[in-house]
Amino acid sequence: MNTPNPLGWESLAEQPLDEVDAELMNRIAELYSAVDPVPHDLVERLTFAITLDALNAELAELQQQPLDALASRGVESSEVKTLTFTSDSMTTMVSIVASGPDRLRIDGWAAPGAGVSVELRQMDVTRDVVADDDGRFVFDDVPHGLTRFTIRAADPASHPPVVTPAVEI
């Protein structure tokens, strides 16, 4: 059922935009900038997330932890975060623990992982280590921040690199 519109909105909607429309849109943009601004580092985060090495890589998936695994077991529990990433060809687990003021230690295991190269990337910093025969690797003195791992096989021709999603640590 059509209800007549005494204000004539339909006819206004058919008109081209004018100065009043532009002013209204500018005020709406100012409102959104004030209450929900674009993150200052959005461009850097996008650039970080989309790199050339990710184009030819196998992408790992972050596995969700069960709620009981995330629960605190007491007031004096240490803050340890364990993340598991899986792909078709590899599973990687990292354990993140505070090692000092604003610093972290990351212990990781890749399976299969003997001799894999593990790259830790944070915005402008890239660090590489080689996993031992059991697939274990360690990064010491890591600052908090958006972090991604790239795992490369000992024989790069045998398998494409595996790239994890970026996570805030």
Give the separation between CA 133 and CA 117, rounded to whole angstroms. Answer: 12
Give the separation between CA 90 and CA 101, rounded to whole angstroms. Answer: 33
Backbone angles phi, psi at 98, to 5 degrees: -65, 135
What pLDDT band is residue 2 in, cutting at 50, 70 and 90?
A: low
Beta carbons of 168 and 142 less than 8 angstroms apart: no
Res. 8: pLDDT tops 80? no
pLDDT score, position 150: 93
Mean pLDDT, the chain, rounded, equals: 82
Which contacts of 151-156 are long-range, i.e. CB under 8 A and separated by 24 or more positions? 151/60, 151/90, 151/92, 151/110, 151/113, 151/116, 151/117, 151/118, 151/119, 152/116, 152/117, 152/118, 152/119, 153/116, 154/114, 154/115, 154/116, 154/117
Give the separation between CA 131 and CA 136, rounded to whole angstroms. Answer: 5
Domains of the chain: 45-168 (2.60.40)
pLDDT score, position 54: 58
Q: Per-residue pLDDT averaged across 119-131, rounded?
A: 93
pTM equals 0.63
Res. 4: pLDDT tops 70? no
Beta carbons of 106 and 129 less than 8 angstroms apart: no
Res. 114: pLDDT tops 80? yes
pLDDT score, position 75: 44
